[in-house]
Amino acid sequence: MNKKEVLEIRKQFSLQNCAITRICGCYVDGDKEKKLEFKEAFLSLPEEEEYKYFDLFKRTLSGTVGKNLLNMSFPLEEEQKGGAQEFLMQLKDSRLTDDMLVSEFYDKVIENYDFGEHYLILLIHAAYDVPGKASDGMEMYDASDTVYDYILCSICPVSLSKAGLCYNAEHNSIEDRIRDWIVNDPVNGFLFPAFNDRASDVHGLLYYSKKPEELQEVFLTQVLGCSQVLSAGTQKESFQAMIADTLGEDCAYSVIRNIHENLNTLIEENKEEPEPLELGKPEVRRLFSLSGVPEENLENFDREFDETVGAKASLLASNIASTKKFNIKTPDIVINVNPDRTDLVDVRIVDGRKCLVIPVDDQVEVNGIEVRMDPETGVSEPSV
C-alpha cells in the first residue's frame, strides 16, 4: 500500500464515511489474563465513543510507509490450509460474528505478543464500497464496482492515570482525583487484507508499529504468518556497513559526501511518486559507482549485499538517507552541516596533519557571540 491508499482507508473512520459493521475487544492484564471481552454493532455505540474509537483506528494507520507502516506478504505455506492467512480470511469472512474464531484470535495474540503490562485488543470489520474514478481522477460514488471487505486490529496499552488533585464542581472543592485505567494510542496493529490498487489483496497485509525498531517479531511470524523484515534502523545500519565493507581502506570523505548528495537527489526526483523509493541491488550498485566508488571495490559487491541486506531484499531510500542532517564526528568534536552545503567541508593534509577545512565567509557565532577574524593576525576575537 502507498500513502494515498492508506489515506483513503483512514478517511473511512468518520461518522460521514463509516463502513464499520462490528467491533470486538479483549482487555488483557499484565499476567496475560483476559479481564473483559465485548462485541457490539459499531453503529449502536454512543456517538462520543465512536469518535474516540475513530481516533484509535486512525492512529493504527499513521506514520511513514516503510517505517511505521510495513507492507508484508504471506509466504506460500501460510496461504495453505492451516496457515495464518487462511485463519485471517476466516476471521474476515465471518464478519467477526463467530465468537469461537474471535476468541481463538485473542488467544493467539496473548500467547505471542510480548507486553508485560495491561493492554486492549481491538478488532473491527468494515465493508468499504470503493467509489470508481473518472479519467480526471474525480471519485464517482455512484459508480462503485468493488467492495473492500477488511478487518483492522489495534493493540492499545492501558495505563493507570497519574495521581493528582482535581476540582470538584459539585462540591466546589479541590480533592484527590480518582485514578482510572486509560486506553492509550495503539502501539501495534494490522490491516488485512492489504488495499492495493484500490482493491483487496489477500496475499498481503499492512502492519503498524509505533516504534519502528520494536516490530514484535514473534507476533509477526506466529500470529500473522509474515516473514521478519528489516526495520528502518536496521536498514540504515546495513547500508552503512555495506559502504564501509565495500570501500574498506578507500573510504574517502568525498565518496561518502557524494553518496549522501546523490541519494538525496534521487529522493527529491521521486518525491511526487505515490510509491516510496526502493533501492535493490542494481540501484545501490549504480549509486555507489556514480558516487566515485572504484570499480575494483565493487567486485565483491553482490556478495556483500546478499549477506548484509538479502539477495532479494531492497532498502527504502527514506530509511537510509539523512535528508535533514549531515554530521561529521571526531572523538572530541561534532560538526553539523546543512545537508545542502556539504561542499563547504573538506578533508586536507595541513602541515602534515589531517584536518577538516571549513571556509568562513559569513558571520561566525560561538555560544551565541559573534566573532570576527583579525585580518593581520588571523586570530578570531569577539566583535565589538
Three state DSSP letters for 136-169: CCCEECCCCCEEEEEEEEEEEEEEECCCCEEEEC
Contact 159, 117 (CB under 8 A): yes
pLDDT higher than 90, residue 246: no
Other Cβ atoms closer than 10 A to 21: 16
What's the confidence (pLDDT) of residue 365? 79
User: What average pLDDT does this structure show over 358-362?
Assistant: 76
Please tell me the pTM assigned to this model: 0.81
Task: Provide the pLDDT confidence category of residue 384 given band limits of 50, 70 and 90.
Answer: very low
- The mean pLDDT of 125-150, rounded to a whole number, is 78
On the question of pLDDT at 110 being above 90, the answer is: yes
Alpha helix stretches (DSSP H) within 113-252: 217-222, 232-247
pLDDT tens readout for residues 170-194: 899 999 888 889 999 999 999 999 9
- Reported as a single tens digit per residue, the pLDDT across 17-28 is 999 999 999 999
Cell of 190: 494490522
> What amino acid occupies position 63?
G
Q: What is the pLDDT of residues 209-226, one digit of tens each?
A: 999 888 899 999 999 999
Report the C-alpha gap between 224 and 353 in whole angstroms: 56
> Whole-angstrom Cα distance, residue 374 to residue 102?
77
